[in-house]
A and B are shown apart, each in its own frame.
Chain A
Amino acid sequence: DQQVKQNSPSLSVQEGRISILNCDYTNSMFDYFLWYKKYPAEGPTFLISISSIKDKNEDGRFTVFLNKSAKHLSLHIVPSQPGDSAVYFCAASAREKLTFGTGTRLTIIP
């Protein structure tokens, strides 16, 4: 039972355009949501997060939106840069543990 779902395994975006990565969850007990970025042969690194009491959080080129009624969050990257090419995992927290999605491979086309 996948509680956190990323339905797009891959996404290709032109450099300079907006990248939108989506994530859905089913557990209403999740109260904190995060995005991690992963390059090959490295561990995931934290990118941005949002508390369930907010609907938007922005950090530079990265913005995360949370729609609790739809149990949906999204990550917007604008403008997209070649260094953004990586696998992106969304994660949701309930108590002491993070539950991760299956990941979306983002490729930025120069």
Chain B
Amino acid sequence: DAGITQSPRHKVTETGTPVTLRCHQTENHRYMYWYRQDPGHGLRLIHYSYGVKDTDKGEVSDGYSVSRSKTEDFLLTLESATSSQTSVYFCAISEEGFYGYTFGSGTRLTVV
């Protein structure tokens, strides 16, 4: 039922290289979010967007940047990948912003 897709699904990259993950939605929702999931930490918010060109930081934003030039796309960039950024990254969308999140299937990123 998609409505939200993440690409790539898997990626292996080297330490120090830049990496961009893409989240694409077809629901025209206002809010988009990037979370990372790690054992023992659950899901932690990296950045979120409340409209085109409107973004804000989450609790673990260091080393990450985002951009949203169109309603449907939210990009997450690791400026210089480190091993600590090895994780599963989830994008989520929401119409209201405080409930009803729909998550993508995730991107598994490995930094070697």
Contacts and interface: CB of A to CB of B under 8 A. Distances in A.
Contact of A99 (B45, B97, B102): B45
A8 B41 CA distance: 13
B74 interface: no
Interface stretch (A11-19, A39-47, A62-70): A39-47
B58 A89 contact: no
A93 B42 contact: no
A94 B48 CA distance: 14
Contacts, number: 61
Contacts of B101: 36, 44, 46, 98
A103 B90 CA distance: 15
Interface in A55-107: 89, 91, 93-103
B34 to A, nearest CB: 12
- Of B44, B99, B100, B104, chain A has the most CB atoms within 10 Å of the CB of B99
B103 to A, nearest CB: 3
A22 interface: no
A108 interface: no
Contacts of A42: 105-106
B31 A96 contact: yes
B43 A44 contact: yes
27 contacts: A6-B42, A31-B98, A32-B98, A34-B99, A36-B101, A41-B105, A41-B106, A43-B104, A43-B105, A44-B43, A44-B90, A44-B103, A45-B103, A46-B100, A93-B99, A95-B97, A96-B97, A97-B48, A97-B58, A97-B98, A98-B33, A98-B45, A98-B99, A98-B101, A99-B45, A100-B42, A100-B43
Interface of B: 31, 33, 35, 40-45, 48, 50, 58, 90, 92, 97-106
6 tightest A-B CB contacts, nearest first: A43-B103, A102-B42, A100-B43, A96-B97, A93-B98, A100-B42
